[in-house]
């Protein structure tokens, strides 16, 4: 179920709602909304602060049921932490925790005053957008292959933010971006026996058919063979699920304006191929199409926002399986660009499908800028953990734009060098380039490999191996970097 958002103008003590949400800082400092509720309720919040029941610790939640003098049935008091250090990241955290707490209550709607909490350097539109995206993320439930839990119980369906009308643009953006994030998360969470290359192609085609200004083209393995996609096709050769190249195009800008382009790694399942991965944790390799999901989600967000620009989104989709016909270590592949590639490890397959997709995207769309997203290397997870995506580009201005978009949305990236010094690690005696560069600087050498297929292009690479999903058997896709990419497009329109 999709969470519905709106803005309201009302007093927290007098609004008739199943629940109102207010904030309290540490040391008992009440926000203006909490103070109004407290005054109407005869000091009910302050008494709980004084007794220690309400600590104000960031993300803590306390529920007051049917407090006298307040029209709402419940008051959810959310801790904001210390006021002097309150910042954007804390604001996002407390809104996530508030939405989680609301999701545990038997109610269908609520009104939140958290979007009115002051965040240094941020306006009302940013606060509402961030609060809505945080709530939508917390409210997401995967149900495609699971029986719904708690069927028949009321669940949160509508959340209103009490703030001024000047926040409406932020809410409009949040609704569109949230739809893109949900699209990406649902696609990535699906099991690999459902989410195959053909399934991704079908989802893209269905979206194009449902929206004006959007067209979809799908290349099958036979067409790619005729065109010379030697690198991409080699990766998918061992699977019964044949590769697809999926291309979506949105024409929201001038007819003569060059498009922006996204390219996303779409390995729908990665066994490692002949260089087989260890068994434990391999089930998480259904998330190896997180880059594809991310760029498709950003495309959805751009279309839903009606951004006045042209955008292409290209997904090379394949399954990396061991088979009698699989490609092998030692094989030399001829890529679409004409460059030959020595395969040293079949588990470095993402770059092999991306290089052909990048070449085709540049030739087909001649984009003014091209950004790829890929769950590319474990080395990036080692370097940056789960908090930041790795960003690589030889274009300082493009890198700065993407970093700024990540900061604005809290979908952050960190720039890694893409110096030519690293290129020697990809030298091969048998081909123009090897597909891996040895043990050191694995994320960077993967970026260096891709850079060889983007000559003359204004291009950046996002390694989202650490940020695309939460680890563990119950870990879900995060929907990153949809917010970052959507913000980058919004900024281009400004």
Residues in the chain: 494
How far, in Å, CA of 22 to CA of 220, rounded? 54
The single-letter DSSP state of residue 423 is: G
Catalytic residue at 277? Answer: yes
Q: Are strands 332-334 and 340-342 parallel, antiparallel or unpaired?
A: antiparallel
- Asked whether 75 and 20 are in contact (CB, 8 A), the reply is yes
Q: Is 288 helix (H, G, I), strand (E, B) or coil?
A: helix
Q: Which residues contact 448 (CB under 8 A, 6 or more apart)?
A: 418, 422, 423, 425, 426, 437
d(CA 52, CA 125): 34
Asked if 375 contacts 288 with a C-beta cutoff of 8 angstroms, the reply is yes
244 catalytic residue (yes or no): no
CA dihedral over 472, 264, 176, 387, signed as positive or negative:
positive
DSSP 251: E
Kindly name the residue from 351, 412, 452, 480 that is annotated as catalytic. 351
Cβ atoms of 192 and 239 within 8 Å: the answer is no
Tell me phi and psi for residue 346, to 5 degrees.
-75, -5
Is 451 within 8 Å of 468 (Cβ atoms)? no
Single out the catalytic residue among 100, 213, 277, 492. Answer: 277
Rounded to the nearest 5°, which phi and psi values hold at 170?
A: -65, -40
What is the DSSP secondary-structure string of 164-203? -GGGHHHHHHHHHHHHHHHHHHHHHHS-TTTS-HHHHHHH
Q: Which residues contact 281 (CB under 8 A, 6 or more apart)?
A: none
3-state helix, strand, coil in the chain (%, to 5): 40, 20, 40
Integer Cα distance of 356 and 350 in angstroms: 11
Cis peptide before 481 (omega within 30 of 0): yes
For residue 487, the SS3 value is: helix
d(Cα 115, Cα 161) in Å, to the nearest integer? 6
CB 314 within 8 A of CB 374: no
Separation between Cα atoms, residue 240 and residue 129, nearest integer Å: 43
CA atoms within 13 A on the CB side of 329: 11
CA-based torsion, 249, 311, 467, 128: positive or negative:
negative
For the annotated catalytic residues, the residue numbers are 277, 351
């Amino acid at each position: 179920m999709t969470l519905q958002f709106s803005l309201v103008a009302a007093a927290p003590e007098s609004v008739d709602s199943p629940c109102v949400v207010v904030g309290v800082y540490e040391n008992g400092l009440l926000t203006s909304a909490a103070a109004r509720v407290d005054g109407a309720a005869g000091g009910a919040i302050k008494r709980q602060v004084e007794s220690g029941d309400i600590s104000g610790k960031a993300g803590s939640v306390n529920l007051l049921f049917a407090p006298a003098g307040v029209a709402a049935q419940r008051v959810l008091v959310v801790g904001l932490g210390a006021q002097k250090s309150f910042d954007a990241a804390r604001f996002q955290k407390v809104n996530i925790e508030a939405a989680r707490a609301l999701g545990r209550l038997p109610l269908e709607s609520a009104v939140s005053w958290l979007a009115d909490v002051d965040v240094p350097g941020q306006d009302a539109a940013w606060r509402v957008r961030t609060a809505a995206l945080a709530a939508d993320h917390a409210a997401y439930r995967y149900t495609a292959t699971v029986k719904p839990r708690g069927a028949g119980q009321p669940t949160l369906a509508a959340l209103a933010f009490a703030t001024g009308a000047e926040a409406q643009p932020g809410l409009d953006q949040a609704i569109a971006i949230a739809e893109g994030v949900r699209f990406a998360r649902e696609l990535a969470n699906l099991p690999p026996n459902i989410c195959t290359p053909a399934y991704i192609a079908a989802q893209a085609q269905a979206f194009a058919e449902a929206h004006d200004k959007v067209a979809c083209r799908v290349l099958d393995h036979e067409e790619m063979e005729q065109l010379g996609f030697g690198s991409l096709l080699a990766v998918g050769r061992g699977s019964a699920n044949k590769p697809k190249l999926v291309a979506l195009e949105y024409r929201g800008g001038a007819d003569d304006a060059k498009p922006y382009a996204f390219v996303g790694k779409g390995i729908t399942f990665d066994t490692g191929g002949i260089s087989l991965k260890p068994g434990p944790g391999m089930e998480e390799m259904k998330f190896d199409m997180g880059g594809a999901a991310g760029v498709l989600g950003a495309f959805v967000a751009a279309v839903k926002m009606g951004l006045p620009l042209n955008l292409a989104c290209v997904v090379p989709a394949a399954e990396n399986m061991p088979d009698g016909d699989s490609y092998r270590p030692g094989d030399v592949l001829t890529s679409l660009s004409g460059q030959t590639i020595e395969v040293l490890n079949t588990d470095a397959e993402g770059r092999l499908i991306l290089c052909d997709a990048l070449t085709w995207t540049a030739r087909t769309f001649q984009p003014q800028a091209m950004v790829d997203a890929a769950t590319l290397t474990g080395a990036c997870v080692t370097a940056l953990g789960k908090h930041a995506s790795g960003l690589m580009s030889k274009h300082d201005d493009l890198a700065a734009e993407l970093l700024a978009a990540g900061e604005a949305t809290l979908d952050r990236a960190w720039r890694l060098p893409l110096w030519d010094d690293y290129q020697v690690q990809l030298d091969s005696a048998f081909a123009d380039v090897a597909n891996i560069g040895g043990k050191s600087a694995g994320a960077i050498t993967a970026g260096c490999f891709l850079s060889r297929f983007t000559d003359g292009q204004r291009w950046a690479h996002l390694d989202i191996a650490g940020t695309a999903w939460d680890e563990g058997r119950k870990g879900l896709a995060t929907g990153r970097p949809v917010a970052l990419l959507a913000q980058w497009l919004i900024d281009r329109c400004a």
